[in-house]
Structure formats: structure tokens, C-alpha cells
Structure 1
Amino acid sequence: MALGESNLTFCFVGKRRLIVKSETTDDATKSNVNEEVKKIVVSKKAKAVKVKTPTINIVMDRGKFKTIKSPRAIPMSEKDKHANNFEVVLGNSTATPILSRDGFTYTCCFCTEHYVNPAELKTHTLLKHNSSNDRREFMKKQSSSGYVLKLDITLLKCKLCDVGIDTVEGLLDHLQNEHKKLIHRDVKNQIIPFKFDGEDLQCAICHLVFNKYKILVEHMKTHYRNYVCEVCDYGSINRRAMINHKQSHKTGSFECNKCDKVFQTDQKRRQHFYTVHKFMSMPNKCGICNERFKSSPLKDQHMVSVHGMSPIIRKCLSCDKTFTTQFALRIHTKKYHLMERNFPCTECEMKFFSKDQLKFHMLKHTGQKDFQCDVCLKWYTKKWILKEHMRIHMNDRRYKCLQCGRGFVQKCSWHSHMRTVHGEIDDKALA
């Protein structure tokens, strides 16, 4: 092998590239360089350990040879950094991931098992899926733009030292500082924490209470504004959610390819397509048998009657009343606690919650009577008043006094009798 005028020689051995540099071109130096190259080649062949091939530079410096290895560094991707953090957190703590909740059961991230109690899901995950293989398979399904991890941190502890920790950030700091675990802090935190240590669905950060898991998940977006829309200040936890949101700001004419409807934004067109054409106006799906329903109450009724789930009882946060539907709870809250009165009377200063209430009230001002008795031809302002009046003609004395045996058509008459004749009011005296 001879050195050229450029004072640089390349020598390839297998996939190894040897770069030989020299500042002199005399024959003795060339011979020494060739001998040094041969020694390195022989020593490299003698090694049995397979490693990534580095570039070897042999430099002549003041009459001595120096060997410099410069391995080619490959930067770690964002997804790989999330995968590393995911592995460290789940492998060294009691935190467990949650795929979803359909209103009745929590679904395991690694399999299709469903559990009513999140504590049962935690036990299942720690016993059945406490392996790196399951965690790697889970991360393979994730994408860098759409990655988000819903993590149950109820009674969170470090597996290495059994120390209790309250937050995800506290757990990351603990594993990094106390146990020298590799945590990549240069990627945005896309782990949403949940705590299920009580009957209520409470935010793990600001401690607000919610009636539905889906609403709680939507609320958590206010705490994780990793990406912010420059148009409306909307915040999202990952890039995919922000990309989808920005579509709502692009206006135009977007036609549905299944019907003749045209929408102002592509987001509304896609929502129409999935709701009407793909899911046939049945957006609510059962998480067990995949049957679809037009409304959430119908799905809830199906879960109770077919799959034996316990009915969801929604408790009012301001009083002790409970409701079986979210709609009934919302109406109750607006009417009795928020005191919404959006229907004002045009004749006086009174306001009412519903249009029907206003309509009944207006009868006081107009005196209009639309309901007539067929027997005595009397007119009444309200239908229920006419129904009570008809009991007189039918001799329906359903309210009886157990002390003297007298019967009354109206309950108010029975109350008056009990108060004036017997000096007491007792609902148990009704027959």
C-alpha cells in the first residue's frame, strides 16, 4: 500500500475503513505506516465480540502513531424516548395504564379484559402484564404524534424502595435522582394521571369532581397544553389532536361523498360522515358486544339488562339528590342550583326556567281558560286542574282519614280536615 501525494491512504478490511494520515512521504515512514496498519487489522480480526464498526483514524504525530476511534452516533427518536420513559415508569412503580372507560368498566391496555373497579384492573395489570414484552408491544402501536398515556397513580409507590409518591413528576424525579434511572426530560410530558381513591371521579391535579370519566378526560386537557393553537388558544396534549383541531379553522365548501350535504369545515363533514353514514346515527357503542345505540341512555339500559351491570347513579354535587341520566342531573343543576331563568314574563318582573312554566304563568295575566268540564261545563286554566275537578263527578275520594273515616277528593282538603278536626298532620294516616 503506498501513500499518494495527498498524504492520505484508505484501507478497507471487511466493513472497516482505515484512514491513514501522514505528514511525510519518505519511504521509511510509508513502511512504518503499512506495518502499523497490518497490526491493527490482525488485532481486529482476532476479536470475537461483535460490535458496531467504528471508523479508525491512524495519525502520525511527532513520529508516533495514534489511533482515534470515532463511532457514528445515531440520535434517539421522540417515540423511543417516550418508550424508554414508559418502560421505566411501569417497570419500577405501581402505576398502571388505562385504555378507556365506557361508563361501566375500565379496559386493560394490554388485553381486552374489562373491570368495573379500577383497583381490580390495577391488580390484573401488575400480575398479568408485568413484563417488558407486553410494554414493548403496547408502545409499537403508538405513534409520535398521537402518543398519550392515561395512567392510574392511585396509591402510587416505587417498587425499588417502597416509597409512596403523589405525582407523576415526583415519580420521574425519584427514579432519576434516587435510583439513577434514565429519564428523557427533553420530550413533552404526555402522561395523564388519574386517582381512583374515592367514590367520585376527581381530577388528580386540581381536585375538581366530575360525574363521567369522559368529561374528566376532557378536563385534563386544560392541564396539559403542550401544543397551543395560535388562532383560538386551544391547548392539546399531542400534535395529532392539534392538527385535527386546526382543521376547524379552515373554512370553505366541503361536500359529503355519500349525500348532497355541504359543510363549512372539513371537520364537520367528517363528523357527519362517521355519525350518519358509517355508524348509521348510532354513535354509542357497547364496549363488550360492540352493539351500537342512538343515545347514551339506551346504551346504559343495554349494559344493565344484557350484561348485568349496576345502574349508574349520578349524584348532585350541591344536594343529596341522585339521577339515572346525565340529562336529568344537568336540568336539575341548572334549575335549582344555578337558578337559570331565561324566559321572562312580558307583563311582570318574574322569570322562569322553561317555556311551559312561562306559559302557565301567563294565564294569570290573560285569564284564558282552554279546558272545559264535559259535565258541568266549567272552564279551567290548566289541564291538571280539570282532572282533579273530574274526581268530584266520579266521587273519587281517594284521600281518607283513618280516624273518622271521611274521604276527600283533594289532598289539600284532607290536610285541612286533619289540622282543624284532629289537630295533626300525618301522611301515614292516608289509606
Structure 2
Amino acid sequence: MCSLLTGCLLSYLFAAELFRFIQLPSWSKYAQIGSHSTIMERAEINQHSTVENVGELGEDSICNMATKSKVIQSDIVDRPREKFHSPQTGNERKKKQHKCEECNKQFSRLVDLTIHTRTHTGEKPYRCEECGKQFGQPGVLTRHMMTHTGEKPYKCEECGKQFSQLGNLKTHMKTHTGERPYHCEECGSQFSSSDTLKRHMLTHTDERPYQCETCKRRFSQQGHLRTHMRIHTGEKPYRCEECGKRFSTLGDLKKHIRTHTGQKPYRCEECNKHFSRLDSLKTHMQTHTGEKRYGCEECGKQFSLLMTLKAHTGEKPYRCEECRKQFGQLCNLKKHMRTHTGEKLYRCEECGKKFRQLAHLKEHMKTHTGEKPYRCEECGRQFSVSCNLKRHMRTHTGK
């Protein structure tokens, strides 16, 4: 009984807070609510007394009110409120008699002031039963619940992408129009949403309001903190559909996907060489600038890349725990580890065969294209992969 009344009360309060939107006489389908206008007006008293007066309504009245509020909730949540306001003359418009003591903003209805006051007090009475997150308004809780149910009622007409919130669809639409109305006064960068601009501004102020409770590291954005927390929890929510490998960030998954597709979106403007990762392009660019920051302590020779210096000194800091073999580069160790795990990330789209290394896949692809770049100098016979040429050469050498 307690949980029933709680659920009904939440819907009742939701209806009370949204009733102010229903102004147009043409909304005949909501005429049924008119009989409850007296009940609605009770929401204008403070939240504490509202709870006390629920008993006067009775269980049936509250439940009936909750049923009707669901109609309102489903039909007008997320709609811009100005669309529901009918033209009013100065005499018709309600006097704004409720004033916020904090910022002096005025409201015509006490319920509006109550909601607004929560922006100052931080009060969040509406709690999500799924994840425990709390909200200041029931409408915001309703929209949040869609992230759990997977419901995405808002669809982009351009590309078909769907969203759980209208605001997210509006922001997404700017990617098609190219509109970026929010401008950073510091550096001139432009953004499609005000939230993105606000997050960007923290890079100028060096403000880091979000702190990790485990290691005390601070972050400028809440999303960065959430991503960081996965280091402590071990959570890896992003899964590769190709090989099943999991990742803690979407960015890492996208980088990994390129190992399957062979996609290299980052291009060097100097030599047109392509790279699958931005950091690899940045490292490569040092070979064009002529800058040689890395010097050998033994002979004084300078190198533009750290990996080149390590190759020069013979340093191999990366060791395989399985066979103790050592490598000068981490990427080479990762490739080597696949010989132990049997992992084959690279799949041929033609025949489905899988390979441990991208180079092996590329060689294999020549068997489908008919390309035979490897030629025997003795007899002129040609081969699609180098290992076949090597085997063939033994017929001439006898080894």
C-alpha cells in the first residue's frame, strides 16, 4: 500500500508541476483535467504541506489523478513550453507574486518557485530506482529513465539516428546543418551546444571540480571522471563485435576497430602516409620537422623518434611474461603476445580466414586479387606471398 501511494503521489506531483503548460482551449482532449483543477491548485502550497494533505484526497482520488497525469506526461514532456501558452493580455497575465530570496527572480506560481529554489539548495527529491541518481524535477527523471529502458522516441529525419531526449536530437541536428552558435570568447572555438561550450571553458580556467574518491585525482568534466573510475572498477562496457575484446572507453574501442578494418583516417600532409591513430601521426610528423630531441648518451647521435633511439641503443624494455622475449616497442610485444593467446584480430572479408597480424592479412588478400609481386630471380616464377617464394627458392638451392 505504501509503495502504491508513493508511486501515485509522484505522478500527482508531476501532473501538478506540468499543469501550468495546459492553457489552450483547443486542447479539448485534456478537458477531463478541468474537473481536477481544485486538486491541481493544492500543489501551489509547499511540498511539506502537500504531503500532509494527501490524506484528504483519499487513495482513489490520488490514483485517478495519477492515471490522468500519465496522459499529460507522455504527451507534453520535452515540448517547448512556449508552444502551450496562449496569447494573454496584460490584465489576463498572472501577477508574479512569488520571489526567490536568493536571486530575486519572480514567478506567478508557487510550484514554479519551488522547482526553481532547488537550483540553489541542490535538493533532488526524485530518485531513479535503477541507478540511484537523483533529480530536482520529475520530468527530468522521466527522461532519464529512457536511458535504462532503451526507449528512443526522437528520430533524426536526415540519418535515422534515434535519441531518448529531444534536446539531444536538437543538438545532433546541428551536425547536419553545421550550425555552431556557441562561441568561446577566449580562443574563438565554436560549439553546437551550450553544454559543450561550458565544458570547453574549463580548459581555460583550469578548474577541476570533479574528484576521484579513490585516488583524489581531479577532472574538469564529469564524463572524464566516470571514464577514469573504470580504472579502479575494471569496468569495460564497450565490446568489439568482431573479436569480443572489451574496452573501458568508446575511443579505445574505435581505435581497436581499425585493426580489423585497416582504416587509417589520419593523413600526413607532407608525404600522404596514412595512420590509424592520431598519436602515431604526431610521432611521424617529427621526421619531417628535422627536430631531433632524443640523443644517445654513448655516442651523442641525435634521433627524431624515441623508438629509433631505443633501436640504436638496443634497449628492449618490453618483456613477454610467457617466454621472456624482449622488445624495443610495446606494439611489437602486443603482436608477439598473440602467438601465445592464439588471438587473431584480422579477418578476411572474402573467405573469413583470420590472422594474427595485419601484414599477414594483406599478404593473404593477394590470393584473392591475383596479385603476385614476389618473383623468383632464377626462373621468373611469381608468387602472391613472400613465404611461398622462400619455399620455392629451396628448389633451386637444394636447402
TM-score by length of 1: 0.29
Which one has a larger percent strand, Structure 1 or Structure 2?
1
More helix by share: 2
Structure with higher Rg: it is 1
- TM-score, reference length from structure 2: 0.31
Higher relative contact order (CA 8 A, sep 6+): 1
